[in-house]
Structure 1
Amino acid sequence: MTDLARIIARQIRLTGPLTLADYMQTCLLHPQYGYYATRDPFGQAGDFTTAPEIHQLFGELCGLSLAQAWQDQGRPAPFALAEPGPGRGTLMADMLRAIRLMPGMAQAARPVLIEASPHLRQVQRERLGQITHLDSIEELPDMPLFLMANEFFDALPVRQYLHVGSGWSERVVGLDDDGRLCMGLLPPVDLPRSGKPGDVIEDCAAAAAITESIAARIARHGGAAILVDYGGWNGYGDTFQALRQHRPEDPLAHPGEADLTAHVDFAPLAAAALRAGAQVSRPVHQGDWLLSLGAKARAQRLAAAGDGGAMAALHRLTDPSEMGHLFKAMAIWPKGVPAVPGFEALEPDADDA
């Protein structure tokens, strides 16, 4: 049993079972034993590899997409160039390099990272130099906001419900007879979601609230946001998962030593953006989006210049059998301005994507 598992077990004995959201929050962000507080989880030496760590191609195209949106909105200056959950700072570094191609944009940018982990903040400073760190989206300055969020929402805590015939029973983390962590169910409740026995739904209130805050700032001050993550639209199913040393494992097995995530439901995020008065796109496949931005031509140029990994990276990022279809991208921008490159507006009454 890990140190954090003992702390969680003691808490359950004192106050009762934890919601899945509380369990995730503790495992990821406990100040002493939390996953992100104690390690650099990225790359081959860590537990997973994100798109920016695969190749510069991803971050460059993200930066150029935001650069075109900045140009289309009249080149506002100054503006916040923000990234929540920025990992090692690789994506921000690649975007900053890319936006230098747009005259005046780099000078107008005020780079901001939203990061909860003291350990990762230090890693980001080593990559980017002196950089502004914030604790939350709410602390962003009141100015135009151009934001890129890659694999940020999947790590936000979710609550999970199982349809048991008489209603939806929330899944919680408790203790078995031997004092080990185990899953349990609370009494059924009514929820405004249809289902049949055996169905599982997940609710991430934090994701909708953060999206609404981002969209409200964009609607008020201008800017754009691109959200990239794995997930779907009004999805059903148990997607709560743990990854350790690049392999899946039981999410209760090693609290604080494995990455915990759940697939992102883009439907409530889109609804939150519309509610905030912004325009939002349908989610599109990551591969289709990157190819629409010229990923293939850029990879070919890099390969011709001697980059031996460019074409393999293109395949991994865009092929449907790799990351191309699993990952989705969704954009937010103000009403009355051109769409962010690679996206089309979602009609407010759309019920699928």
Structure 2
Amino acid sequence: MKKYLMIFCTLWMISIPLAQAQISPPLKPIQTIPLPNVEGYFDHPAVDIKGQRLFIPGEYQKTIEIVDLRAGKVIHSITGLDGNPRKVIYIPQSNQIWVDLGNGTCKGFSADSYQLLKNIQLNPDSPPEAKREPDNGIYDPATGLFYIGDRGDRSKQGTKGSIEIVDTKNGTYAGSITLDDNDPAGLALDPATPRLYVVLGATSQVAVIDRQKRAVIASWPITGGPLPHALGMDAVHHRLFIGSRVKPGHLYKPGKMVVMDADNGKIVQVVDSEGGVDEVQYDPASQRVYFTGTTGSVEVFKQVDPDHYESLGTVPTGAIAKTSLLVPELKRFYAIVPKHVILTPPVPESKEATIEDAKVLVYEVEP
């Protein structure tokens, strides 16, 4: 009996660290950086790795907040943008910041002085009544081209969006690719081929674009993802990670992560996920997918193999914290939380409402 008890105790002691290892969260919160005096939603940020700066578009406030990551504070705000900033990119070779705006322009700024360098009209032949609205984008470092998803009038059926192209090297408008959908959302670029993948929110498809021909060469249905909005890519294993909402808006959970073969559009796997997706990022080194939603968390998925994915768990972020940035070089994950009101019943009534200012939550990426 003692022998069996000793074996049982030994196995139990061994199982404790194994269980702890299994439930260890993939991200560890280590810092909070205040974003004072910033109202409303944020959108897609960028990072200067060498200079340790984070560039955060204040979507509602029409600013770009510059955060010094070493000092842990805002050091500058770019104001007077005239439109809602959506996707920020940082180009280290030229030390420039580029951003597309909801008023149909794209602006370039010096990352030294933060002064405006270029103001480029997107879709220049489109009249104001077309109600076009740029949103997300992606940068090709090999060519210096900035590809921007430009929405059509989403209040009308049958309107068409486009991919607008900006040449950041020359600071010029470089052309347009028409899409049979008015809601281009997430974009992913394959560095090994001319392919650009675009999630189409209105028709729930992936448009495959040949960047050299500047033409759509295929369209694939997104089965299991009714309202796709974000896109990540594993270029090595040819997998697309499509983040989909299940209902319009930011409030519904679960969402869906649809895994698609990037060669032929075949659906590989559909898994439940965090809701209200706005960012999906894949890290090749760890083979993890970071799925950021507006329902209060980021969910991290592990690639078991190219055809199978399992959740490592969700990590709390904040209310309607819809955008984020994974920076593998710094082993950091940044979640941007907007200013919001917290209601805490019961009475006293004077203490029911608490206002939390906007902030950046900084996480260390755990192995």
> Do they fold alike, i.e. is TM over 0.5?
no
Q: TM-score range by the shorter chain?
A: under 0.3
Using the size of structure 1 for normalisation, the TM-score is 0.25
Higher-Rg structure is: 2
Higher helix proportion, which one? Answer: 1
Structure 1 or 2: larger strand share?
Answer: 2
Structure with more relative contact order (C-alpha pairs < 8 Å, separation 6 or more) = 1
State the TM-score, normalized to the length of structure 2.
0.24
